[in-house]
Amino acid sequence: MPVRLPIFPLGVVLFPTTPLPLHIFEPRYRRMLADCLEADRTFGITPVGTDGEVPEPGAVGCMAEIRVNQEMPDGRSNIVVLGGSRFVLTKVLEEPVPYPVAMVQTFDDQPGSEPVEERTARLRELFQNYLGLLRQLNDLQAEESRLPEDPAGLTFHAAAAAECDASIKRRLLTERSIARRVEALLLLLPLLTRALERGLEVHQRAHTNGRGTTHPDLLTGP
């Protein structure tokens, strides 16, 4: 069933069931935020079109439900949205509002496209390791992540957390086979993990002054 939806074109990709913090500062999108808060708190995030605005029909996006809204004194807002249904943009509408509005068609994964349990378990293992390295690189305390139990949710969370090009994320968002998303992530995560391991090695050397020893205390001497 077609749905009318305010559209926020962005360079970032939102996935179903995952959170995304956003900073709203342009006047037209501040107006969009106000209108959404007065209605059903939902808008759509899509890639940016070739003209720098709303994309052409056929673009794939994700519904965003506003969960947190922190308005600042100057009218800007920090918000957190939660990803909902994916959709295909079918028609851009001409309406008397400053922000884009479009008709969209939502879609789900293909029935029967679930992966075998062993591949999902392998993805979970790789993703946990990847998250652990991310925390180390950002000097965050290690903790056990509570990942989704279902394969679809796991792929969306892994895709959202993966630090890779937005074009790769868009292909993962568009993919309607859970099994193919799992296989794509099983190829992607080891590459990203190796990059994190190299970054972590440089990070650790920086903390030890590059010589395997810590900096001397300048007040008390070595």
Looking at residues 129-155, what average pLDDT do you find? 83
pTM over 0.95: no
Which pLDDT value is given to residue 142? 54
* Residue 220 reports pLDDT greater than 50: no
Task: Give start-end residues of each CATH 1.20.58.1480 domain in the chain.
Answer: 117-207
Q: What six digits make up the tokens of 122? A: 């392998």
Q: Residue 118 — pLDDT band, cuts 50, 70, 90? A: very high
Closest CA to 150 of 174, 175, 189, 182: 182
Looking at residues 30-41, what average pLDDT do you find? 97
Closest CA to 81 of 10, 161, 14: 14
Class of domain 117-207: mainly alpha
Q: How far is CA 45 from CA 13, 82, 204, in A?
A: 7, 11, 37
Task: Give start-end residues of each CATH 2.30.130.40 domain in the chain.
Answer: 2-107
Q: What six digits make up the tokens of 171? A: 């292909």
Q: How far is CA 221 from CA 1, 214, 217, 218, in A?
A: 72, 12, 5, 5
Q: Which of 68-72, 139-143, 147-151, 193-197 has the lowest mean pLDDT?
A: 139-143
Domain 2-107 has CATH 2.30.30.30: no
